[in-house]
Amino acid sequence: MFKVKIIAIGRCKELWLNAALAEYEKRLRGRCSISWQFVEENESFTASCRKEPILVALDIQGERFNSEAWAEKFMRLGKRASFAVGGPSGLPAEVLQMAHFRWSLSPLTFTNQLARLILVEQIYRTLEISKGSPYHK
Amino acid sequence: MFKVKIIAIGRCKELWLNAALAEYEKRLRGRCSISWQFVEENESFTASCRKEPILVALDIQGERFNSEAWAEKFMRLGKRASFAVGGPSGLPAEVLQMAHFRWSLSPLTFTNQLARLILVEQIYRTLEISKGSPYHK
């Protein structure tokens, strides 16, 4: 069972986003739990990230992968990984420095709300790739 | 006023997706209309795409841009542009060939449902970039 923690600045505001996340979390049930930690400002964000043994920072300047390469990368992180998703101004410099690596979802800028959904969809996709399901083709 | 047409294989199935698209279409009101054309199979998809004077094909093998470069590219398309979004097996080869250009949202694979939301969010972002709003920073 994978345990993923997502640390984010600000709550998931949009109703549609919460519905979409709930759908993916339901599909992940029994294979991967996702816990959310919402913080309100950079200082508590940095303090929370510091406690995480394996931290991936979502950052547009980070490395990019296709979904297959990302799935391999994810699997090598072990059973517990944490992801940091910044607010509209991105991640604090300290979080970028302490991260295991920085991951860029795309050269396009997304809202941090949409980035959360893309992240969770890719985690679901990773587990489908690893079991060879037709979800990913 | 921009007029964007999105030609897609299969309807927007997810309730959360329809809610999210409605939110962005509301924000675009008066500046850009988005019309959807849903087709069920490759033959009618190709026929529909053939009628479009300016067609952009969403394709993971296409060109990638950051949001600023994409905004410039979009503005150069003129006031009317059409976008082709494939189904789970991607776009028919004919559509890829007839497209003005192929655009890759990311090296990651997304569901075609999620790709629709990312597309509409980037269109909204483009118009915000062009008016210098703080939505894009």
Phi-psi region of A77 (alpha: psi -120 to 50; beta: other; left: phi over 0): alpha
Nearest C-alpha in A relative to B104:
A106
How far apart are the C-alpha atoms of A125 and A134, rounded to whole Å? 10
- The yes/no answer to whether this complex scores an ipTM above 0.90 is yes
Q: Domains plus CATH for chain B?
A: 2-130 (3.40.1280.10)
Q: Categorize the per-residue pLDDT at B137 as very low, low, confident or very high, splitting at 50, 70 and 90.
A: confident
**Gap between the Cα atoms of A124 and A26, Å rounded:** 10
A–B CB contacts, 8 A cutoff, strictly below = 75
CA atoms within 13 A on the CB side of B18: 5
Tens digit of each residue's pLDDT (9 = 90 or more) over A89-98: 899 999 999 9
pLDDT at B67: 97
> Average pLDDT for residues A81-93, to the nearest whole number?
94
Residue B75: pLDDT over 90: yes
DSSP state of B137: -
Q: What mean pLDDT is predicted for residues B124-137?
A: 92
3-class state of residue A80 by DSSP: strand
- Please give the model's pTM, rounded to 2 decimal places: 0.96
How many CB atoms neighbour CB B105 within 10 A?
Answer: 25
Percent of chain B with pLDDT over 90: 91
pLDDT at A60: 96
Of the candidates B41, B56, B43, the residue with the CA atom closest to the CA atom of residue B5: B56
Give the mean model confidence (pLDDT) for residues A113-119. 97
Q: What is the DSSP letter of A58?
A: E
Phi and psi, residue A94, nearest 5°: -65, -40
Question: Could B136 and A109 be called an inter-chain contact, meaning their C-beta atoms sit closer than 8 Å?
Answer: yes
pLDDT above 80: residue B136: yes
Residue type, B136: H
Q: How confident is the model at residue A137 (pLDDT cuts 50, 70, 90)?
A: confident
Which among A109, A126, A129 is the top mutation candidate for probing chain B, defined by the most B β-carbons within 10 Å of its own β-carbon? A109
Of A25, A32, A28, A29, the C-alpha closest to A1 is A32
Q: Which residues of B touch A67 (CB under 8 A)?
A: 108-109
Say what the pLDDT of residue A72 is.
96
Q: Is the pLDDT of residue B110 over 90?
A: yes
Q: What is the mean pLDDT of residues B89-113?
A: 96
Reply yes or no on whether the pLDDT at A110 is more than 90. Answer: yes
- pLDDT over threshold 90, residue A20: yes
CA distance A89 to A87: 5
Nearest to A9 by CA among A53, A58, A79, A54: A58
Rounded mean pLDDT of chain A? 96
CB within 8 Å of B53: residues ≥ 6 apart: B80
Partner A contacted by B116 (CB < 8 A): no
Residues 6+ apart with CB under 8 A from B57: B83, B84, B91, B95, B96, B99, B101, B102, B103
CA dihedral B128, B130, B131, B137 (to 10 degrees): 60
pLDDT at position A88 is 86
